[in-house]
A = this chain, B = another copy of it.
Amino acid sequence: MVTMSDVARVANVSATTVSHVINKTRKVNPATEKAVRDAIDATGYAADTIARSLRTGRSHTIGLAMTAISNTYFGDVVHSLEREATSRGYTLILTDTHDEPQRELRAIRHLLSHRVDGLVLAPSAGPAQAYAQVLRRKIPLVLIDRVPSEVLPRVDAVGVHNVEPIASLVDHLVVAHGHTRIGMLAPKTGIFTTQERIAGFHLGLERNGLDPGDAPLEHAGEDADQTSAALERILDRPSPPTALVLGNNLITVSTIAGLRRRGITPPHGIATVSFDDFPWADSFQPRLTTISQPVDELGAVAARLLLERMEDPGQASRYVRLTPTFQLRESCGCPPAA
Protein backbone atom coordinates (compact mmCIF):
# COMPACT_ATOMS: atom_id res chain seq x y z
CA MET A 1 0.00 0.00 0.00
CA VAL A 2 1.20 3.48 -0.81
CA THR A 3 0.89 5.93 2.05
CA MET A 4 1.26 9.63 2.49
CA SER A 5 4.86 9.30 3.57
CA ASP A 6 5.63 7.56 0.30
CA VAL A 7 4.22 10.50 -1.57
CA ALA A 8 6.09 12.89 0.68
CA ARG A 9 9.36 11.13 0.03
CA VAL A 10 8.87 11.20 -3.73
CA ALA A 11 7.95 14.87 -3.65
CA ASN A 12 10.71 15.79 -1.24
CA VAL A 13 8.37 17.36 1.24
CA SER A 14 6.89 16.44 4.58
CA ALA A 15 3.77 14.36 5.04
CA THR A 16 2.19 17.43 6.55
CA THR A 17 2.49 19.30 3.30
CA VAL A 18 1.03 16.40 1.36
CA SER A 19 -1.90 16.35 3.71
CA HIS A 20 -2.43 20.07 3.33
CA VAL A 21 -2.28 19.86 -0.42
CA ILE A 22 -4.84 17.11 -0.50
CA ASN A 23 -7.22 18.82 1.87
CA LYS A 24 -6.52 22.37 0.71
CA THR A 25 -6.20 23.23 4.32
CA ARG A 26 -3.44 25.80 4.16
CA LYS A 27 -1.59 27.79 1.58
CA VAL A 28 1.25 26.04 -0.16
CA ASN A 29 3.72 27.19 -2.76
CA PRO A 30 2.45 26.44 -6.27
CA ALA A 31 5.70 24.72 -7.16
CA THR A 32 5.54 22.53 -4.08
CA GLU A 33 1.94 21.77 -4.76
CA LYS A 34 2.76 20.65 -8.26
CA ALA A 35 5.51 18.42 -6.99
CA VAL A 36 3.11 16.85 -4.56
CA ARG A 37 0.43 16.33 -7.18
CA ASP A 38 2.92 14.78 -9.52
CA ALA A 39 4.08 12.47 -6.78
CA ILE A 40 0.50 11.49 -6.10
CA ASP A 41 -0.04 10.63 -9.73
CA ALA A 42 3.25 8.82 -9.97
CA THR A 43 2.59 6.66 -6.96
CA GLY A 44 -1.13 6.21 -7.54
CA TYR A 45 -1.73 7.27 -3.99
CA ALA A 46 -5.25 7.26 -2.61
CA ALA A 47 -6.00 8.53 0.87
CA ASP A 48 -6.85 5.89 3.42
CA THR A 49 -10.35 6.64 4.61
CA ILE A 50 -9.92 4.42 7.61
CA ALA A 51 -6.92 6.21 9.01
CA ARG A 52 -8.48 9.54 8.25
CA SER A 53 -11.64 8.56 10.07
CA LEU A 54 -9.76 7.43 13.13
CA ARG A 55 -8.01 10.74 13.25
CA THR A 56 -10.90 13.05 12.49
CA GLY A 57 -13.68 11.13 14.13
CA ARG A 58 -15.77 11.43 11.01
CA SER A 59 -16.16 8.45 8.71
CA HIS A 60 -17.96 10.10 5.83
CA THR A 61 -20.34 7.21 5.74
CA ILE A 62 -24.03 7.07 6.42
CA GLY A 63 -25.88 3.94 7.38
CA LEU A 64 -29.22 2.69 6.19
CA ALA A 65 -31.20 0.23 8.26
CA MET A 66 -34.44 -0.97 6.78
CA THR A 67 -36.16 -4.14 5.74
CA ALA A 68 -35.33 -5.43 2.30
CA ILE A 69 -38.41 -7.56 1.99
CA SER A 70 -40.41 -5.21 -0.13
CA ASN A 71 -38.03 -5.26 -3.00
CA THR A 72 -39.07 -2.53 -5.30
CA TYR A 73 -39.57 -0.08 -2.49
CA PHE A 74 -36.27 -1.05 -0.89
CA GLY A 75 -34.37 -0.78 -4.15
CA ASP A 76 -35.80 2.62 -4.94
CA VAL A 77 -35.00 4.08 -1.56
CA VAL A 78 -31.50 2.64 -1.56
CA HIS A 79 -30.94 4.01 -5.00
CA SER A 80 -32.00 7.56 -4.29
CA LEU A 81 -30.22 7.58 -0.95
CA GLU A 82 -27.03 6.37 -2.56
CA ARG A 83 -27.28 9.00 -5.24
CA GLU A 84 -27.73 11.82 -2.77
CA ALA A 85 -25.06 10.56 -0.40
CA THR A 86 -22.47 10.05 -3.11
CA SER A 87 -23.06 13.47 -4.60
CA ARG A 88 -22.17 14.93 -1.24
CA GLY A 89 -19.12 12.78 -0.75
CA TYR A 90 -20.65 10.25 1.55
CA THR A 91 -20.68 6.50 1.30
CA LEU A 92 -23.67 4.33 2.01
CA ILE A 93 -23.53 1.33 4.30
CA LEU A 94 -26.39 -1.09 4.23
CA THR A 95 -28.04 -3.32 6.78
CA ASP A 96 -31.26 -5.26 6.74
CA THR A 97 -33.50 -5.09 9.79
CA HIS A 98 -35.78 -7.86 8.56
CA ASP A 99 -38.44 -5.83 10.32
CA GLU A 100 -37.57 -7.54 13.59
CA PRO A 101 -36.66 -5.47 16.66
CA GLN A 102 -33.90 -7.93 17.47
CA ARG A 103 -32.22 -7.68 14.09
CA GLU A 104 -32.84 -3.98 14.01
CA LEU A 105 -30.91 -3.53 17.21
CA ARG A 106 -28.02 -5.56 15.86
CA ALA A 107 -28.07 -3.64 12.61
CA ILE A 108 -27.84 -0.36 14.45
CA ARG A 109 -25.03 -1.52 16.68
CA HIS A 110 -23.27 -2.67 13.58
CA LEU A 111 -23.64 0.70 11.94
CA LEU A 112 -22.51 2.53 15.05
CA SER A 113 -19.40 0.42 15.40
CA HIS A 114 -18.59 1.44 11.87
CA ARG A 115 -18.80 4.99 13.14
CA VAL A 116 -21.34 6.15 10.62
CA ASP A 117 -21.70 9.91 10.70
CA GLY A 118 -25.44 9.58 10.53
CA LEU A 119 -28.10 7.03 9.92
CA VAL A 120 -31.41 6.51 8.26
CA LEU A 121 -33.75 4.05 9.91
CA ALA A 122 -37.09 2.56 9.00
CA PRO A 123 -38.14 1.32 12.44
CA SER A 124 -39.53 -2.19 12.61
CA ALA A 125 -42.49 -3.21 14.66
CA GLY A 126 -42.02 -3.52 18.40
CA PRO A 127 -41.02 -1.11 21.13
CA ALA A 128 -38.44 0.30 18.75
CA GLN A 129 -36.37 1.99 21.38
CA ALA A 130 -33.44 0.98 19.29
CA TYR A 131 -32.88 4.55 18.38
CA ALA A 132 -32.63 5.59 22.01
CA GLN A 133 -29.13 4.24 21.75
CA VAL A 134 -28.47 6.30 18.68
CA LEU A 135 -29.78 9.46 20.20
CA ARG A 136 -27.77 8.90 23.34
CA ARG A 137 -24.64 8.89 21.23
CA LYS A 138 -25.89 12.01 19.53
CA ILE A 139 -25.52 10.47 16.10
CA PRO A 140 -27.74 12.27 13.63
CA LEU A 141 -30.76 10.11 12.87
CA VAL A 142 -33.52 10.32 10.33
CA LEU A 143 -36.56 8.10 10.52
CA ILE A 144 -37.99 7.09 7.22
CA ASP A 145 -41.44 5.84 6.31
CA ARG A 146 -42.47 4.65 9.75
CA VAL A 147 -42.59 7.51 12.21
CA PRO A 148 -43.90 6.70 15.67
CA SER A 149 -45.42 9.87 17.05
CA GLU A 150 -43.81 9.43 20.49
CA VAL A 151 -40.37 10.31 19.22
CA LEU A 152 -41.49 12.91 16.79
CA PRO A 153 -40.45 16.15 18.38
CA ARG A 154 -37.00 14.82 19.11
CA VAL A 155 -35.97 13.44 15.78
CA ASP A 156 -36.01 14.23 12.06
CA ALA A 157 -38.29 12.15 9.92
CA VAL A 158 -39.77 11.74 6.50
CA GLY A 159 -42.83 9.77 5.53
CA VAL A 160 -45.92 9.93 3.41
CA HIS A 161 -49.50 10.65 4.27
CA ASN A 162 -51.36 7.40 4.73
CA VAL A 163 -54.72 8.18 6.26
CA GLU A 164 -56.29 10.57 3.82
CA PRO A 165 -55.08 8.82 0.66
CA ILE A 166 -56.51 5.49 1.76
CA ALA A 167 -59.73 7.19 2.81
CA SER A 168 -60.01 8.78 -0.62
CA LEU A 169 -59.54 5.35 -2.16
CA VAL A 170 -62.58 4.25 -0.19
CA ASP A 171 -64.45 7.40 -1.20
CA HIS A 172 -63.89 6.50 -4.81
CA LEU A 173 -65.12 2.95 -4.38
CA VAL A 174 -68.29 4.14 -2.72
CA VAL A 175 -69.08 7.29 -4.65
CA ALA A 176 -68.00 6.37 -8.15
CA HIS A 177 -68.75 2.67 -8.10
CA GLY A 178 -71.40 2.22 -5.44
CA HIS A 179 -69.65 -0.38 -3.33
CA THR A 180 -70.94 -0.95 0.17
CA ARG A 181 -69.11 -4.14 1.12
CA ILE A 182 -65.49 -3.07 1.11
CA GLY A 183 -62.72 -5.15 2.64
CA MET A 184 -59.07 -4.56 3.34
CA LEU A 185 -55.98 -6.72 3.19
CA ALA A 186 -53.66 -4.86 5.53
CA PRO A 187 -49.89 -5.27 5.98
CA LYS A 188 -48.19 -6.80 8.98
CA THR A 189 -49.68 -5.67 12.24
CA GLY A 190 -47.81 -3.45 14.69
CA ILE A 191 -46.11 -1.30 12.10
CA PHE A 192 -46.79 2.39 12.15
CA THR A 193 -47.83 2.71 8.53
CA THR A 194 -50.16 -0.26 8.87
CA GLN A 195 -51.98 1.45 11.69
CA GLU A 196 -52.34 4.61 9.66
CA ARG A 197 -53.55 2.78 6.60
CA ILE A 198 -56.17 0.94 8.59
CA ALA A 199 -57.20 4.22 10.17
CA GLY A 200 -57.60 5.63 6.68
CA PHE A 201 -59.71 2.67 5.69
CA HIS A 202 -61.98 3.18 8.66
CA LEU A 203 -62.17 6.90 8.14
CA GLY A 204 -63.20 6.38 4.54
CA LEU A 205 -65.92 3.97 5.53
CA GLU A 206 -67.26 6.19 8.27
CA ARG A 207 -67.51 9.33 6.26
CA ASN A 208 -69.45 7.41 3.65
CA GLY A 209 -71.93 6.10 6.16
CA LEU A 210 -70.52 2.59 6.37
CA ASP A 211 -69.76 0.75 9.59
CA PRO A 212 -66.01 0.14 10.11
CA GLY A 213 -66.74 -2.47 12.73
CA ASP A 214 -68.60 -4.45 10.15
CA ALA A 215 -65.95 -4.25 7.42
CA PRO A 216 -63.87 -7.33 6.59
CA LEU A 217 -60.22 -6.75 7.48
CA GLU A 218 -57.40 -9.25 7.36
CA HIS A 219 -53.70 -8.90 7.98
CA ALA A 220 -51.91 -10.33 5.01
CA GLY A 221 -48.52 -10.83 6.62
CA GLU A 222 -45.45 -10.65 4.50
CA ASP A 223 -45.21 -13.41 1.97
CA ALA A 224 -47.35 -14.73 -0.83
CA ASP A 225 -48.66 -17.68 1.18
CA GLN A 226 -49.86 -15.58 4.07
CA THR A 227 -51.49 -13.16 1.69
CA SER A 228 -53.22 -15.94 -0.20
CA ALA A 229 -54.53 -17.35 3.05
CA ALA A 230 -55.83 -13.95 4.09
CA LEU A 231 -57.47 -13.54 0.73
CA GLU A 232 -59.18 -16.92 1.07
CA ARG A 233 -60.46 -15.96 4.49
CA ILE A 234 -61.86 -12.68 3.31
CA LEU A 235 -63.51 -14.13 0.21
CA ASP A 236 -65.02 -17.05 2.05
CA ARG A 237 -66.87 -14.93 4.53
CA PRO A 238 -70.66 -15.17 4.61
CA SER A 239 -71.07 -11.92 2.71
CA PRO A 240 -67.78 -11.32 0.93
CA PRO A 241 -66.69 -7.83 -0.06
CA THR A 242 -67.24 -6.56 -3.59
CA ALA A 243 -64.18 -4.32 -3.40
CA LEU A 244 -60.79 -4.70 -1.79
CA VAL A 245 -58.31 -2.17 -0.45
CA LEU A 246 -54.81 -3.62 -0.69
CA GLY A 247 -52.34 -2.30 1.85
CA ASN A 248 -49.03 -2.43 -0.03
CA ASN A 249 -47.41 -3.65 -3.23
CA LEU A 250 -46.53 -7.13 -2.04
CA ILE A 251 -50.11 -7.70 -1.01
CA THR A 252 -51.30 -6.40 -4.35
CA VAL A 253 -49.19 -8.80 -6.36
CA SER A 254 -50.17 -11.82 -4.31
CA THR A 255 -53.80 -10.83 -4.27
CA ILE A 256 -54.04 -10.35 -8.02
CA ALA A 257 -52.39 -13.74 -8.44
CA GLY A 258 -54.75 -15.32 -5.93
CA LEU A 259 -57.83 -13.83 -7.56
CA ARG A 260 -56.55 -15.05 -10.88
CA ARG A 261 -56.41 -18.57 -9.60
CA ARG A 262 -60.07 -18.23 -8.72
CA GLY A 263 -60.77 -17.04 -12.23
CA ILE A 264 -61.32 -13.47 -11.15
CA THR A 265 -59.75 -10.53 -12.95
CA PRO A 266 -60.47 -7.15 -11.38
CA PRO A 267 -62.52 -5.16 -11.82
CA HIS A 268 -64.71 -8.04 -12.96
CA GLY A 269 -65.99 -9.99 -9.99
CA ILE A 270 -64.24 -7.74 -7.52
CA ALA A 271 -62.73 -4.27 -7.61
CA THR A 272 -59.32 -3.48 -6.17
CA VAL A 273 -57.48 -0.36 -5.17
CA SER A 274 -53.95 -0.45 -3.79
CA PHE A 275 -51.48 1.46 -1.75
CA ASP A 276 -48.12 1.56 -3.58
CA ASP A 277 -47.67 1.97 -7.25
CA PHE A 278 -45.02 0.37 -9.44
CA PRO A 279 -43.79 0.75 -12.99
CA TRP A 280 -45.80 -2.24 -14.06
CA ALA A 281 -49.10 -0.98 -12.73
CA ASP A 282 -49.84 0.96 -15.86
CA SER A 283 -48.67 -1.61 -18.36
CA PHE A 284 -50.63 -4.71 -17.67
CA GLN A 285 -54.22 -5.66 -17.41
CA PRO A 286 -55.91 -4.92 -15.18
CA ARG A 287 -54.29 -1.53 -15.02
CA LEU A 288 -54.13 -0.96 -11.30
CA THR A 289 -55.72 1.91 -9.48
CA THR A 290 -53.22 2.86 -6.83
CA ILE A 291 -51.86 5.38 -4.42
CA SER A 292 -48.37 6.11 -5.63
CA GLN A 293 -45.66 6.94 -3.11
CA PRO A 294 -42.94 9.33 -4.23
CA VAL A 295 -40.30 6.76 -3.39
CA ASP A 296 -37.34 8.49 -4.94
CA GLU A 297 -38.18 11.68 -3.17
CA LEU A 298 -38.53 9.81 0.10
CA GLY A 299 -34.93 8.66 -0.13
CA ALA A 300 -33.68 12.00 -1.34
CA VAL A 301 -35.41 13.93 1.42
CA ALA A 302 -34.12 11.49 4.02
CA ALA A 303 -30.58 12.06 2.80
CA ARG A 304 -31.07 15.79 2.75
CA LEU A 305 -32.51 15.94 6.25
CA LEU A 306 -29.65 13.84 7.52
CA LEU A 307 -26.90 15.82 5.87
CA GLU A 308 -28.39 19.09 7.02
CA ARG A 309 -28.68 17.79 10.54
CA MET A 310 -25.07 16.72 10.40
CA GLU A 311 -24.07 20.20 9.36
CA ASP A 312 -26.12 21.88 12.02
CA PRO A 313 -26.88 19.56 14.93
CA GLY A 314 -28.58 22.33 16.87
CA GLN A 315 -31.45 23.08 14.56
CA ALA A 316 -35.04 22.21 15.36
CA SER A 317 -36.15 18.78 14.22
CA ARG A 318 -38.26 18.44 11.12
CA TYR A 319 -40.91 16.05 9.96
CA VAL A 320 -41.56 16.02 6.25
CA ARG A 321 -44.75 14.39 5.07
CA LEU A 322 -44.86 13.72 1.37
CA THR A 323 -48.15 13.43 -0.42
CA PRO A 324 -48.70 10.35 -2.54
CA THR A 325 -50.65 10.69 -5.75
CA PHE A 326 -53.86 9.01 -6.77
CA GLN A 327 -53.42 6.90 -9.91
CA LEU A 328 -56.89 6.30 -11.19
CA ARG A 329 -56.82 3.37 -13.57
CA GLU A 330 -59.03 0.37 -14.22
CA SER A 331 -58.88 -2.21 -11.44
CA CYS A 332 -61.36 -0.16 -9.45
CA GLY A 333 -63.95 -0.44 -12.18
CA CYS A 334 -63.27 2.72 -14.10
CA PRO A 335 -63.53 2.39 -17.87
CA PRO A 336 -60.32 2.20 -19.89
CA ALA A 337 -58.91 5.59 -20.76
CA ALA A 338 -59.36 6.83 -24.28
Residue on B nearest A67 in the bound complex, by CB: B79
Inter-chain contacts of A286 with B (CB < 8 A): 284-285
Compute how far the CA of A17 lies from the CA of B69 in the bound complex, rounded to whole angstroms: 41
A94 in contact with B95 given A257-B283, A284-B286 (CB within 8 Å): no
Contact A112 B82 (CB under 8 A): no
Compute how far the CA of A48 lies from the CA of B75 in the bound complex, rounded to whole angstroms: 29
Compute how far the CA of A209 lies from the CA of B61 in the bound complex, rounded to whole angstroms: 56
Q: How large is the interface on A (under 10, 10 to 19, 20 to 34, 35 or more residues)?
A: 35 or more
Q: Least Cβ distance of A74 to chain B in Å?
A: 5
Is the C-beta of A83 less than 8 angstroms from some C-beta in chain B? yes
Is the C-beta of A226 less than 8 angstroms from some C-beta in chain B? no
Compute how far the CA of A91 lies from the CA of B115 in the bound complex, rounded to whole angstroms: 13
Contact of A282 among B86, B91, B113, B257 (CB under 8 A): B257
Inter-chain contacts of A49 with B (CB < 8 A): 113-115
Is the C-beta of A46 less than 8 angstroms from some C-beta in chain B? yes
Provide the A64-100 mask, 1 if CB < 8 A to any CB of B, else 0.
0000100110111011001100100001111110000
Contact A253 B279 (CB under 8 A): yes
Contact A79 B68 (CB under 8 A): yes
A82 in contact with B94 given A74-B75, A109-B46 (CB within 8 Å): yes
Inter-chain contacts of A282 with B (CB < 8 A): 257
Contact B86 A96 (CB under 8 A): yes
Q: Least Cβ distance of A102 to chain B in Å?
A: 13
Contact A79 B71 (CB under 8 A): yes
Is the C-beta of A20 less than 8 angstroms from some C-beta in chain B? no
Inter-chain contacts of A279 with B (CB < 8 A): 71, 253
Contact B50 A283 (CB under 8 A): no
Contact A115 B48 (CB under 8 A): yes
Residue on B nearest A59 in the bound complex, by CB: B50
Contact B68 A71 (CB under 8 A): no
Is the C-beta of A54 less than 8 angstroms from some C-beta in chain B? yes
Q: Least Cβ distance of A28 to chain B in Å?
A: 22
Contact A280 B253 (CB under 8 A): yes
Contact B114 A46 (CB under 8 A): no
Q: Least Cβ distance of A72 to chain B in Å?
A: 6
Is the C-beta of A9 less than 8 angstroms from some C-beta in chain B? no
Compute how far the CA of A75 lies from the CA of B76 in the bound complex, rounded to whole angstroms: 8
Closest 6 A/B residue pairs (Cβ): A75-B75, A284-B284, A257-B283, A68-B79, A285-B285, A256-B283
